[in-house]
A = this chain, B = another copy of it.
Amino acid sequence: MSFFNLFKKKKSKDVAKDRLMMMLAYERANTKLENLEEMKKELIAVVKKYVNIKDIAIKTNSNQNIETLEVEIILDK
């Protein structure tokens, strides 16, 4: 399943909303990315700069050598 189809499946259930999702995934093989947390914060700040936020949900996940960040934003009109 592609990311595009995954997002389509997660479409707004009831009323269609203006929605933005940003996801970051880091697969570590050899080197640890020192400033990953800082980069995550800066990416979220960029998104906040461009959109009016009605609701925001931030989810992080890490397992063995994979770390993910999921940011789901419901946009305000």
Contact = CB atoms under 8 A, between A and B. Distances in A.
A25 B29 contact: no
Nearest to A63: B4
A59 B13 CA distance: 26
Contact of A18 (B19, B33, B63): B33
Interface string A36-55: 10110011001101110000
A18 B7 contact: no
A38 B21 CA distance: 16
Interface string A60-71: 010101101010
A46 B50 contact: no
A77 B17 CA distance: 41
